[in-house]
């Protein structure tokens, strides 16, 4: 049983009108931004097969990305590595969500947000939905848009910083990525507040002292 439109219907029945699904990707990586998407679906033109992006094959995700972009209102936003290091990853992921909602080409009256915590500055009424990407069609769509956009960013960065495997690991702490960190060093796109990166920087500084 996949996601459906009941959360959206409940909000619409309460008079909120335009409902956006919101999700983020990239909390766990050692490198790259955290990326969020806000999506307002047209209930008459919802692409078939929407689901949690993690439950889809890469080919199916790419196809749905194009289908969603063609029929929905979509906003993509990011929080940078510098922002992640400055305000922490949870707050940065919420900042990206806030930016995504604010950037929608239509004004949303209500947001359905994946997870158990709501960003504090969404500026519209919202509901947190645990495992929302598997329950709400709008959040599922947002999870797909965010993942594809962030994966493309990491693929592009991999062309400039070869050896870290970002084109396949998307910056997550795979064994090969951590080995590359030790062998090649820390790039400007690594999150210095994350322990594996911080430890390498600290050890390097300790040795150089």
Write the pLDDT tens digit of every residue in 159-175: 999 999 999 999 999 99
Residue 208 has a pLDDT of: 41
Count H helices, E strands: the chain? 8, 5
Domain boundaries, given as residue ranges, for the chain: 6-160, 166-208
Is position 66 annotated in a ligand binding site? no
pLDDT tier at 123 (50, 70, 90 boundaries)?
A: very high
Which residue shows structure tokens 């999700």? Answer: 23
Rounded to 5 degrees, φ, ψ at 52 are: -50, 130
Write the pLDDT tens digit of every residue in 43-83: 999 999 998 888 899 999 999 999 999 999 999 999 999 99
Tell me the C-alpha distance between 70 and 67, whole Å.
5
* pLDDT greater than 60 at residue 196: yes
Look up the pTM and report it: 0.94
Q: Which CATH architecture has domain 6-160?
A: 2-Layer Sandwich (3.30)
pLDDT tier at 121 (50, 70, 90 boundaries)?
A: very high
């Amino acid at each position: 049983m996949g996601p459906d439109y009941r959360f959206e219907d409940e909000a619409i029945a309460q008079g909120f009108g335009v409902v956006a699904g919101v999700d983020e990707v990239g909390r766990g990586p050692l490198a790259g931004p955290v990326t969020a998407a806000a999506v307002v679906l047209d209930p008459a033109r919802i692409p078939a097969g929407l689901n949690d992006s993690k439950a889809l094959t890469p080919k199916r995700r790419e196809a749905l990305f194009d289908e969603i972009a063609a029929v929905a209102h979509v906003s993509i936003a990011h929080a940078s590595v510098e922002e992640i290091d400055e305000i922490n990853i949870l707050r940065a992921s919420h900042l990206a969500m806030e930016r995504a909602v604010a950037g929608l080409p239509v004004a949303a009256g209500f947001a359905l947000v994946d997870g158990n915590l709501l960003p504090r500055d969404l500026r519209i009424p919202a509901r947190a939905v645990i495992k929302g990407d598997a329950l709400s069609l709008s959040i599922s769509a947002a999870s797909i848009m965010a993942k594809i956009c962030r994966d493309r960013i990491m693929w592009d960065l991999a062309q400039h910083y070869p050896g870290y495997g970002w084109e396949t690991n998307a910056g997550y702490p795979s064994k090969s990525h951590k080995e590359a960190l030790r062998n090649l060093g820390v790039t400007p796109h690594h999150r210095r507040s994350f322990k594996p990166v911080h430890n390498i920087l600290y050890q390097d500084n300790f040795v150089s002292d």
